[in-house]
Amino acid sequence: MEVLMILLFLACLAVLYFKPQKEGLAFLLFWCATGLCFFMYMVGSINAILPNMTY
């Protein structure tokens, strides 16, 4: 999952560098990668060993 997130961020930068007129696609890739990062954080925090609000 982390590799997929990094690949999405790199694809976002590649689209902006090689095809700047397709900034809508780059924005979509950026939000997909950010959403994946948020999803991984939520899954990790739900399954944490520590009780809630102790970290």
User: pLDDT per residue over 1-55, tens digit each?
Assistant: 789 889 999 999 999 999 999 999 999 999 999 999 998 888 887 766 766 666 5
pLDDT of residue 16: 92
Q: How far apart are CA 23 and CA 47, in angstroms?
A: 36
- The pTM of the full predicted model, rounded to 2 decimals, is 0.74
- In the numeric block, the tokens 């090689």 are attached to 18
pLDDT of residue 52: 65
DSSP structure string for 1-55 = -HHHHHHHHHHHHHHHHH-GGGHHHHHHHHHHHHHHHHHHHHHHHHT-SSPTT--
In residues, how long is the chain?
55
